[in-house]
Structure 1
């Protein structure tokens, strides 16, 4: 029924819980698992630094070459590059874990808005099913927080299986993402 399953992961405890479900499902269906990490462009730090100059100007400006070379500031590309490198390690680790269970995996790291990158990846790769964790929020919190999973559920063409965390996992997951 499912030949290709997309597992977007951020390495959170919720993702680890969903990963077990992905492995079970892929084993039952003999499916290939696509493991995706998205370096979140929306949370990219500012490219600007505060500087006073001789003219009395005080404000946010692009870092000059001396600041960039000295390490006094990081550009968004530096931060995103590190995020992508960490993402590569994460997806490679998940692929290795899946391989130990006899499953085939394809890995990818993308840069962008997470829900959009997930939906686009699914469409571009003919994904049959997306599996993601959900915090199980209710009421106003669900609408105000607009989780990535919620947006994928609403916009993906492929079916989306959500794995609800129990209360202990959800608290652990929220603590991990706040720190």
Structure 2
């Protein structure tokens, strides 16, 4: 049923819960796991620190490399094939584009479960991916 499972991660506890679900599905269906970290371009170029945007993006990219490698190590320990990628862009768009380009059968991602005003103010990458993705999306709510 699933050959390629995409797990976008930001290194949060919320994403870690989703990784566990993706890993279980990958073992069950003998699928490959794709781990993706998106350096969010919306974070740079504003305020006084705009001059240091290149340094900030490089630091975030290095963090992303560390995050995906940590997840990949866990996936390899489970004897599941894994691919890691770090890209720069708008998270929901990059996640959907990656899923399309790599022909992923499923996207598994965490959600904080925010509602009401906090979701409106903070936005929800998971919600945007659910609405925009051609692949099925499994959202996993962070444990309380």
Q: For 2:34 and 2:26, how far apart are their aligned partners in 1?
A: 10
CA drift of 1:143 comes to 3.7
Q: For 2:52 and 2:113, how far apart are their aligned partners in 1?
A: 36
Q: Which residue of 2 aligns with 1:126?
A: 103
Q: Which residue of 1 aligns with 2:28?
A: 28
Q: For 2:22 and 2:132, how far apart are their aligned partners in 1?
A: 21
CA drift of 1:47 comes to 7.8
Structure 1: stretches of 5+ with no match in the other structure: 50-61, 63-73, 168-179
For the pair 1:86 / 2:86, whether they are aligned, the reply is no
CA drift of 1:139 comes to 3.5
Contact kept in structure 2, 1:45 and 1:79, CA below 8 Å? no
If the length of structure 1 is used for normalisation, what is the TM-score? Answer: 0.75
Q: For 1:38 and 1:22, how far apart are their aligned partners in 2?
A: 18
Out of 96, 100, 105, the residue aligned to residue 73 of structure 2 is: 96
For the pair 1:112 / 2:123, whether they are aligned, the reply is no
Say how many residue pairs are matched.
Answer: 144
Q: How does 1:64-83 map to 2 (within 5 A)?
A: 75-83=52-60
SS of residue in 2 equivalent to 1:150: helix
Larger Cα-atom Rg = 1
Structure 2: stretches of 5+ with no match in the other structure: none
SS of residue in 1 equivalent to 2:99: helix
CA drift of 1:144 comes to 3.9
RMSD value, Cα: 1.8
